[in-house]
Amino acid sequence: MHTIAIIGLGQGLSHLQAFQMLPDCRVVAVCDADQALAQRIAIQYNVATVHPHIDAVLSDRSIDAVVIATPDHLHGAHAIMALQAGKHVLCEIPMALTIDECQQIITLSERHGLTYQMGNQVRYAACLTDIAALLRAGDLGPIFYGEGEYLHDYHDIVDDRPADHWRIDPVTPQTTLLGGGPHALDTLRWLMGVRYVEAQAYHVSIPSEWHTTHTTVALLKADSGAVSKITVSYGMQRPYCLYYSVYGSAGSFERSRDQGSPMAETTNYYSHRKLSGARRLIPATVPNWYNPRLPRSMMLGHGTMEVEQAQRFVAAIAANRLADINAREAADSIVPLICALQSADQGGGVVHIPELEVHS
């Protein structure tokens, strides 16, 4: 039995529900800076222990693994503390906000043989299952270009939040690239199968309504010579969208940008040189964010992706193998975003992406 604690109970509540659905897991403790919220959730979800502070979670020897779903700027420190305390870690995006913290997380997880996973659940999206398999098999040929977009009107996220909420607090604002950006870049990088070596980016100059960036566009060069374009916007007046396209010398893939709800069906488009008679992209109707093989009761805030992520995380612990988005994988996505943000913050220009060392 895996014993889990959830730290941070906003998105953390979806993680709590996901782990409670797994027969080999027990959520034994919760922790939130808002004690009343933690008490309420513990009662509602029948969790035995409410710890008042992360230190108490980490010194609780009955806990094997922690989910870190605290604000972005705390992820690095919280993951490092948890790994130092010998806990397996599932940490929300982003892995951390600094390259040094990413480096420490790699070193600690490898030195202590602990499972670390960054929680980009989009890698488990049903709408990407087929294209991921085609790309792994090389069916699109060598990949030379790809696009990833996270377009989310920030009104949807912060309108019902207090004015001092961390996402819009001028001291700790969520940024485009390191906020929603990991969904765009990590998923695209995984599809393309590349490592990025150079980044350059621009913020649009239109001011954001919040103390954060409005829209940021990054170009990334991969070790293979392929190029990617990442767009992250909180200010775009359009419905939510997670868009990906991947172009290889033998074929192309494009998502629809009109996607509907996580539980809806959506359209992907394909083209392949073996189908030379096709004058139009070939549409395929696929489930958006839900796995039709799982019961509807497993759908949480993001379809069935949280449950599948939880399953994969504990399977990695049980098998003592690297998690899907292990510390190196996570750093291969987050360090480029940190470099792209540096480029955009300085008004553009190429930033070389360091390859992190491992000091086990």
Ligand X SMILES: NC(=O)c1ccc[n+]([C@@H]2O[C@H](COP(=O)([O-])OP(=O)(O)OC[C@H]3O[C@@H](n4cnc5c(N)ncnc54)[C@H](O)[C@@H]3O)[C@@H](O)[C@H]2O)c1
Instruction: Closer to ligand X by CB, 8 or 248: give it.
Output: 8
Instruction: Closer to ligand X by CB, 8 or 235: give it.
Output: 8
Phi-psi label, residue 316: left if phi above 0, alpha if psi -120 to 50, beta otherwise: alpha
Q: In the bound complex, what is the minimum distance in angstroms from residue 192's beta carbon to ligand X?
A: 21
CB 148 within 8 A of CB 219: no
Taking residues 244 to 263 in sequence order and writing x for each that binds ligand X by CB under 6 A, - otherwise, the string is: --------------------
Instruction: Closer to ligand X by CB, 29 or 134: give it.
Output: 29
Q: In the bound complex, what is the minimum distance in angstroms from residue 32's beta carbon to ligand X?
A: 4
Measured distance CA(336)–CA(148) in Å, rounded: 14
| Radius of gyration (C-alpha) of the chain in whole angstroms | 20
Nearest residue (beta carbon) to ligand X: 10
Q: In the bound complex, what is the minimum distance in angstroms from residue 191's beta carbon to ligand X?
A: 18
Measured distance CA(357)–CA(360) in Å, rounded: 9
- Work out whether 92 is an interface residue with ligand X (CB under 6 A): yes
- The region of 3-11, 19-27, 318-326, 332-340 touching ligand X under the rule CB under 6 A is 3-11
Tokens representing 48?
């035995």
Strand partners, 6: 30, 67
Tokens representing 61?
């020897």
Among candidates 131, 344, 127, which has minimal Cα distance to 217?
344
Task: Judge residue 192's burial from the number of C-beta atoms within 10 Å of its C-beta, 0-12 exposed, 13-18 middle, 19 or more buried.
Answer: buried
Q: Which of 28, 32, 81, 303 forms a contact with ligand X (CB under 6 A)?
A: 32
- The region of 19-27, 68-76, 99-107, 143-151 touching ligand X under the rule CB under 6 A is 68-76
Q: Which of 17, 70, 187, 288 forms a contact with ligand X (CB under 6 A)?
A: 70
Phi-psi label, residue 252: left if phi above 0, alpha if psi -120 to 50, beta otherwise: beta
- Work out whether 307 is an interface residue with ligand X (CB under 6 A): no
- Work out whether 11 is an interface residue with ligand X (CB under 6 A): yes
CB 52 within 8 A of CB 72: no
Q: Which of 4, 8, 220, 344 forms a contact with ligand X (CB under 6 A)?
A: 8
Which residues, at least 6 apart from 264, have a Cβ–Cβ distance to it below 8 Å?
Answer: 288
- Work out whether 71 is an interface residue with ligand X (CB under 6 A): yes
- Work out whether 82 is an interface residue with ligand X (CB under 6 A): no
Which residues, at least 6 apart from 105, have a Cβ–Cβ distance to it below 8 Å?
Answer: 76, 79, 80, 83, 95, 96, 116, 327, 330, 331
* DSSP-assigned states of every residue in 278-318: --SPEEEEEESS--TTS-GGG-BTTBTHHHHHHHHHHHHHH
Q: Which of 7, 81, 83, 97 forms a contact with ligand X (CB under 6 A)?
A: 7
**How many residues touch ligand X (CB under 6 A)?**
22
- Work out whether 173 is an interface residue with ligand X (CB under 6 A): no
Q: Which of 74, 96, 127, 334 forms a contact with ligand X (CB under 6 A)?
A: 74
Interface of this chain with ligand X, residues 48 to 67, rule: CB under 6 A: 54
- The region of 31-39, 207-215, 248-256, 346-354 touching ligand X under the rule CB under 6 A is 31-39
Backbone angles phi, psi at 132, to 5 degrees: -60, -40
- Work out whether 93 is an interface residue with ligand X (CB under 6 A): yes
Measured distance CA(272)–CA(79) in Å, rounded: 43
Tokens representing 313?
């995380």
Measured distance CA(327)–CA(348) in Å, rounded: 28
Instruction: Closer to ligand X by CB, 9 or 334: give it.
Output: 9
Instruction: Closer to ligand X by CB, 55 or 223: give it.
Output: 55
Instruction: Closer to ligand X by CB, 248 or 336: give it.
Output: 336
Instruction: Closer to ligand X by CB, 8 or 251: give it.
Output: 8
Instruction: Closer to ligand X by CB, 159 or 357: give it.
Output: 159
- Work out whether 186 is an interface residue with ligand X (CB under 6 A): no
Q: Which residues bind ligand X (CB under 6 A)?
A: 7-11, 31-34, 37, 54, 69-72, 74, 92-93, 119, 121, 179, 302
